[in-house]
């Protein structure tokens, strides 16, 4: 290790174990040797530890980070290196700090500080642990709760109103800039394009903003002349609300120019209630009003927007139909004893606009409060019981290392049995491993400790390895299927689509299903290695160039595979997925197939054993499909037969997905 390289030591967030991660790739993921919990390698940046990238754009990258001085979780926005050479972009970036720092409002993402480190300007702001509104829309498939949409946009209207009171216009209101924190509070962020109207730099910033816009949400006046006032932000907020309640922007097109050109025709968008019937006509009309071409026809203040959306939301929660107009504010009306001849007597006698008295509301409110408190207590107790059961069942690292020993000692029970595993130079730590996740599950279920296949145990089916080296027919058949060397089917999307289009219509749907299964193969392997590293006793990692490495794979991620050599040192060698031979992918699968079968053989119940064999059959099916796609026909045949052997119900699926399979041909 270089003497100039700083030592980096961190604590496992799950069990508190101190870990020396000096020299490891920042943002890579490893498994803690004590509790097997996943640990992300941070990157030191000024007084911050960058822990994980959470977003990026053409101008900057955003990281979740730890502020070492204040010991709090923050978000750090770092200007991209290519942008630092452009003074106008740097000016916009620093303008965000000045703009947002001027606003102190609970509906605006606060800026804590800014600075420059290694010639890279950066901002430090509150970390918003929830999803942005655009990601929420994607997650819900375009059907976000209408109540949530109204609540979110109403909160943003409050934040924009606070900014405007400081003379600030945002200029880039869109779903991607509406964020949710860990407590569910909605805030407007990314004031990078904001303009301080009374600032001495306003003319220069306005000139920069002429060519900056989000075509789906930009106001028509800005699209035409490059200028807008706060009512341009109101228009963008209306376009955002339209997208949130309908799942699509008000206008669509193939390019930014096409979208803006279609909008400048002056035709209104399709009313939201026609795209989503559960949107009331009142809400639909109000959204279209915010999208009015004429700025005078839009709501003129953010307070009007907030009050209207809150009224619509309350009506929605009560199950009523919102009024179309904003109208006067609601009043309480209670009976009074109006005398004849007095104001209010006559046809309207007995009705007053005065709010009910405390004496009248007291018993009702107290009863409601008691009901609410009792419900909260019941829910809290139930949650505590569920959490306690889950902790004992899952046995996370902190429970195993801190709580369980004390609990067993207080009850007079012997310590829990654990398997010593050597780590590093002669050090022995007690670790426990998890049951492998089911092929389609989450993998959080625990079972008795997993024994690696080399450890012996229950009777297993015949070995599932195949000698790829000596096979003469392990060449890719001339099917012209795109076969990514690194199993990254996403990057070969265009080639794969062209191939699917060329497949005969009779076979196209099946080929799409095969491709859908294969597109997740690498992600599936990464998930398996998260729960049990590839650690065969005689593990050899085979490379595409013909070389072999003797060692294990303790962890991997989407970008790289780490190989630990078996030379008595803790040295790690980083490989790209594309560096591995195809046979090595099969070796990974074989290892986990055998592990599942061992777990099934050691299970005390027949049902558990059958479950493990079914999961092993599913893995064999995945591997057979992978071999067939890449042209390894004999290997595909072999794993197909194993899938049938472990679970005969896979027969029909195999016949459909791998039609060349010959069930009577011996292995």
Interacting residues of 317 by C-beta distance below 8 A, sequence separation 6+: 147
Task: Compute CA 242 distance to the chain's CA centroid, rounded to the nearest angstrom.
Answer: 23
> Cα–Cα distances in Å, from 44 out to 3, 232, 361, 366?
17, 41, 58, 54
Q: How far apart are the first and last CA of the chain?
A: 50
What is the C-alpha to C-alpha distance for residues 453 and 236, in angstroms, rounded to an integer? 59
Q: What are phi and psi of 116, to 5 degrees?
A: -145, 130
What is the C-alpha to C-alpha distance for residues 609 and 594, in angstroms, rounded to an integer? 13
Q: What count of residues does the chain have?
A: 667
What is the C-alpha to C-alpha distance for residues 298 and 238, in angstroms, rounded to an integer? 10
What is the C-alpha to C-alpha distance for residues 153 and 174, in angstroms, rounded to an integer? 10
> Cα–Cα distances in Å, from 533 out to 36, 264, 384, 400, 526?
10, 57, 33, 20, 10
- Which residue in the block uniquely carries the two structure tokens 């058949």? 477
How many Cβ atoms sit within 10 Å of the Cβ of residue 105?
18
- Which stretch of DSSP H or E encloses residue 511? helix 505-518
Exposed, middle or buried by CB within 10 Å (0-12, 13-18, 19+), for 587? Answer: buried
- Which residue in the block uniquely carries the two structure tokens 């640990």? 39
The half-sphere exposure of 197 on its side-chain side, counting CA atoms within 13 A, is 13
114 bridge partner residues: 123
Exposed, middle or buried by CB within 10 Å (0-12, 13-18, 19+), for 472? Answer: exposed
**467 in active site:** no
- Which stretch of DSSP H or E encloses residue 321? none
Beta strands in 59-136 (DSSP E): 60-67, 72-79, 111-117, 120-126
Annotated active-site residue in 67, 105, 172, 628: 172
Decide: 40 and 50 in contact? Cβ < 8 Å.
Answer: no
What is the C-alpha to C-alpha distance for residues 223 and 616, in angstroms, rounded to an integer? 58
Q: Is 14 helix (H, G, I), strand (E, B) or coil?
A: coil
The half-sphere exposure of 189 on its side-chain side, counting CA atoms within 13 A, is 25
Task: Compute CA 498 distance to the chain's CA centroid, rounded to the nearest angstrom.
Answer: 30
Annotated catalytic sites, by residue? Answer: 172
């Amino acid at each position: 290790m270089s003497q100039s390289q700083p030592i980096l030591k961190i604590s496992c967030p799950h069990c508190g174990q101190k870990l020396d991660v000096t020299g490891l790739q920042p943002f890579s993921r490893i498994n803690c040797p004590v509790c097997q919990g996943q640990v992300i390698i941070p990157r030191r940046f000024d007084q911050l530890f960058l822990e994980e990238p959470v977003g990026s754009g053409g101008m900057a990258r955003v990281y979740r980070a730890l502020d070492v001085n204040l010991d709090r979780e923050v978000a750090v926005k770092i200007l991209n290196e290519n942008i630092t050479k452009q003074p106008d972009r740097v000016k916009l970036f620093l303008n965000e700090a000045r703009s947002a720092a001027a606003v102190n409002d609970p509906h605006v993402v606060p800026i804590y500080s800014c600075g420059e480190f290694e010639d890279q300007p950066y901002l430090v702001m509150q970390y918003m642990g929830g999803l942005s509104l655009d990601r929420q829309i994607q997650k819900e498939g375009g059907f976000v709760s209408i109540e949530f949409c109204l609540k979110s946009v109403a909160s943003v209207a409050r934040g924009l109103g606070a900014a405007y009171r400081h003379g600030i216009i945002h200029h880039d209101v869109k779903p991607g800039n509406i964020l949710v924190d860990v407590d569910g509070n909605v805030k407007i962020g990314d004031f990078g394009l904001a303009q301080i109207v009374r600032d001495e730099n306003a003319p220069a910033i306005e000139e920069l903003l002429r060519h900056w816009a989000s075509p789906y949400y930009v106001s028509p006046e800005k699209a035409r002349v490059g200028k807008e006032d706060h009512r341009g932000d109101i228009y963008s907020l209306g376009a955002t609300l339209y997208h949130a309640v309908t799942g699509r922007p008000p206008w669509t097109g193939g390019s930014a120019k096409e979208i803006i050109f279609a909008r400048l025709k002056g035709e209104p968008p399709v009313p939201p209630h026609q795209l989503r019937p559960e949107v009331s006509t009142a809400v639909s009309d109000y959204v279209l009003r915010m999208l009015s071409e004429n700025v005078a026809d839009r709501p003129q203040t953010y307070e009007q927007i907030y009050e209207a959306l809150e009224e619509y939301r309350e009506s929605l929660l009560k199950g009523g139909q919102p009024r179309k107009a904003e109208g006067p504010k609601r009043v309480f009306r209670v009976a009074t004893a109006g005398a004849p001849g007095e104001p209010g007597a006559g046809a309207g006698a007995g009705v007053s606009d005065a709010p009910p008295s405390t004496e009248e509301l007291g018993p009702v409110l107290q009863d409601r409060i008691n009901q609410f408190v009792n419900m909260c207590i019941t829910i809290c107790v139930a949650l505590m019981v569920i959490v306690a059961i889950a902790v004992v069942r899952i046995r996370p690292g902190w429970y195993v290392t801190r709580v369980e020993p004390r609990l067993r000692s207080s009850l007079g029970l012997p310590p829990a049995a654990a398997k010593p595993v050597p780590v590093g130079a002669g050090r022995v730590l007690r670790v426990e491993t998890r049951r492998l996740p089911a092929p389609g599950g989450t993998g959080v279920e625990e079972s008795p400790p997993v024994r690696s296949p080399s450890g012996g145990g229950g009777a297993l089916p015949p070995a599932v390895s195949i000698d790829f080296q000596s096979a003469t027919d392990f060449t890719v058949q001339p099917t012209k299927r795109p076969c990514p060397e690194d199993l990254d089917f996403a990057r070969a999307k265009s080639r794969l689509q062209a191939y699917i289009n060329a497949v005969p219509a009779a076979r196209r749907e099946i080929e799409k299903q095969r491709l859908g299964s294969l597109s997740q193969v690498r992600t599936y392997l990464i998930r398996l290695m998260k729960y049990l590293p590839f650690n065969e006793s005689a593990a050899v990692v085979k490379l595409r160039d013909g070389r072999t490495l003797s060692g294990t794979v303790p962890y991997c991620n989407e970008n790289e595979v780490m190989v630990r050599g078996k030379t008595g040192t803790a040295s790690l060698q980083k490989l790209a997925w594309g560096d591995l031979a195809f046979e090595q992918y099969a070796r990974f699968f074989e290892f986990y197939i055998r592990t599942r079968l061992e777990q099934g053989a050691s299970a005390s119940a027949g049902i558990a054993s059958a479950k493990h064999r079914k999961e092993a059959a599913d893995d064999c099916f995945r591997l057979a499909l992978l071999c067939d796609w890449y042209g390894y026909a004999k290997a595909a045949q072999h794993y197909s037969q194993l899938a049938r052997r472990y679970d005969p119900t896979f027969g029909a699926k195999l016949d459909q997905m791998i039609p060349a399979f010959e069930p009577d041909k011996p292995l």
